[in-house]
Chain A
Amino acid sequence: MTGRVEGKVAFITGAARGLGRSHAIRLAQEGADIIAVDLCQQVESVPYPLATPADLAQTVKEVEALDRRIIATQADVRDYGALKAVLDDGVAQLGRLDIVCANAGITTFGKLDVLSEQGWQDVIDTNLTGVWHAAKAAIPHLRAARSS
């Protein structure tokens, strides 16, 4: 039976665990190959443990168990150059890009009059600028796929 995204390639940020891992598995179940990214390091302003390299390795294992290919790399969505290099490399290996899931995100807490500069900046940089970076890096590949 043909999967609902059979033969497509999906780029997923924050793919080591949680929603991101689930997206990777669900898309793989329906026939997609995966380009997975996760920071796999702690951000100091975040009050809970962030994902680890072992988490990302678990995502790889679960996607490969579905007989799909996955390229998984540690990269920071705040660093456009690094994110783009990872995606370009993944597309080079998997041959195309069809789906982008800009999922990486953090949450910190505090009322707006006492929130620290770093607590604000980390969220804006990761949850807003990081989402733009994922889209910006992907758009040329998506345009290339349409014209090919």
Chain B
Amino acid sequence: MGRVEGKVAFITGAARGQGRSHAIRLAQEGADIIAVEFAKQVDSVAYPMATPDDLAETVKQVEALDRRIVATQADVRDYDALKQALDDGVAQLGRLDIVSANAGINTHGPLDELPEQTWQDVIDINLTGVWHTAKAAIPHLRADGRGGSIILTSSMAGLKAIANTGHYTAAKHGVVGLMRTLALELAPDFIRVNSVHPGVVNSPMVMNPPTYRLFRPDLENPTADDMAGPAQALHALPIPWVEPVDISNAVLWLASDESRYVTGVTLPVDAGWFVK
């Protein structure tokens, strides 16, 4: 018997990285998946975003676990499209229990130079998109009276300032306010709401040349290896980054009934970055 056996989980940004890992980890423990991904490029983003092929790979890996998955290309900025994708998924899979608002982008720049569009894309996707995800899901979570679990992906940047990512830091702090308010508003229906706060994660949103340059402005063409030293210096535990599955295991716990009385919590998975 899996830890989320028979439940259905809605995951945004599910084509790769943490989102794909969440889909696989929850499916391993018995959940069916409603997966959403934009699967297009956002112009202000300097690394390649997920593709339809990536989303197809997530489908393949979940189906290989003998779980069902409904995967749709949709933009979390577009509430109606997101709601439609979720409503279709629930109609096909019969229920909704778990929500992982995971979709996010990352761009860099000091706050006094950041272009309007760069700010707006991060606020729209990383903050408003998270609200859209929760808003679309709440009627389904309420529908059968079983309660549910909503997990919002924030960041270490949701708990402390990280220079050159002020828009990202503002959005991720905003996610904490959203999480806390949702936890209060939904508690009477036994819908729990928590946030996870990854540190440096070995995923495509982090492991790309723009981020290497953020860590190593002294080098012309820095690599992941060049970033390892300064990344490790952020952490208390002597590792440069955590793996997507480390976040997935926290999401799984918050999704499962093992955490049935946990709500309103900011859970870091950060190798001790926050305490350092």
Binding site for B on A (CB under 8 A): 80, 111-113, 115, 117, 120-121, 124, 128-129, 132, 135-136, 139-140
B120 touches A129 (CB 8 A): yes
Given A112-B131, A121-B128, A139-B112 in contact, is the A128-B170 Cβ separation under 8 Å?
yes
A80 touches B116 (CB 8 A): yes
A124 touches B139 (CB 8 A): no
A129 touches B119 (CB 8 A): yes
B60 within 8 Å of A by Cβ?
A: no
**In the complex, what residue of chain B is closest to A143 when comparing beta carbons?**
B112
Given A128-B174, A135-B111 in contact, is the A112-B134 Cβ separation under 8 Å?
yes
Enumerate 26 A-B pairs (CB-CB under 8 Å) in ascending A order: A80-B116, A111-B185, A112-B138, A112-B181, A112-B185, A113-B135, A113-B138, A113-B139, A113-B185, A115-B131, A115-B135, A117-B79, A120-B128, A120-B131, A121-B128, A124-B127, A124-B128, A128-B123, A128-B174, A132-B166, A132-B167, A132-B170, A136-B112, A139-B111, A139-B112, A140-B112
B123: which of A117, A124, A139, A140 is its contact (CB, 8 Å)?
Answer: A124
Chain B 122-163 per-residue mask, 1 if CB under 8 angstroms from chain A, else 0:
010001100100110011000000000000000000000000
Q: In the complex, A80 Cα to B134 Cα: how many Å?
A: 30
B114 within 8 Å of A by Cβ?
A: yes
B116 contact set on A, CB distance < 8 A: 80
Q: In the complex, A135 Cα to B182 Cα: how many Å?
A: 29
A113 contact set on B, CB distance < 8 A: 134-135, 138-139, 185
Beyond A132-B166, A140-B112, 18 additional pairs, beta carbon < 8 A: A112-B134, A112-B135, A112-B178, A112-B181, A113-B134, A113-B138, A113-B139, A115-B131, A115-B135, A124-B123, A124-B127, A124-B128, A128-B123, A128-B174, A135-B111, A135-B112, A136-B112, A139-B112
**In the complex, what residue of chain A is closest to B120 when comparing beta carbons?**
A129
B174 contact set on A, CB distance < 8 A: 124, 128
B123 touches A129 (CB 8 A): yes
Q: Determine chain B's interface SS by DSSP, over half rule.
A: helix
Number of interface residues of B (CB under 8 A): 23
Say how far B16's CB is from chain A's closest CB, in angstroms.
Answer: 28
Q: In the complex, A111 Cα to B185 Cα: how many Å?
A: 7
B119: which of A117, A132, A140 is its contact (CB, 8 Å)?
Answer: A132
Binding site for A on B (CB under 8 A): 79, 111-112, 114, 116, 119-120, 123, 127-128, 131, 134-135, 138-139, 166-167, 170, 174, 178, 181-182, 185
A117 contact set on B, CB distance < 8 A: 79
Q: In the complex, A120 Cα to B174 Cα: how many Å?
A: 12
Q: In the complex, A135 Cα to B178 Cα: how many Å?
A: 24
B123 contact set on A, CB distance < 8 A: 124, 128-129
A135 contact set on B, CB distance < 8 A: 111-112
Interface centre among A80, A113, A136, by most B CB within 10 Å? A113
B131 contact set on A, CB distance < 8 A: 112, 115, 120
Say how far A76's CB is from chain B's closest CB, in angstroms.
Answer: 14
**In the complex, what residue of chain A is closest to B186 when comparing beta carbons?**
A113
B112 contact set on A, CB distance < 8 A: 135-136, 139-140
A140 contact set on B, CB distance < 8 A: 112
Say how far A39's CB is from chain B's closest CB, in angstroms.
Answer: 18
A128 contact set on B, CB distance < 8 A: 123, 170, 174
B111 touches A132 (CB 8 A): yes
Q: In the complex, A62 Cα to B113 Cα: how many Å?
A: 36
Say how far A144's CB is from chain B's closest CB, in angstroms.
Answer: 12
Say how far B50's CB is from chain A's closest CB, in angstroms.
Answer: 25
Q: In the complex, A140 Cα to B110 Cα: how many Å?
A: 13
Q: In the complex, A132 Cα to B122 Cα: how many Å?
A: 13
B111 contact set on A, CB distance < 8 A: 132, 135-136, 139
A121 contact set on B, CB distance < 8 A: 128
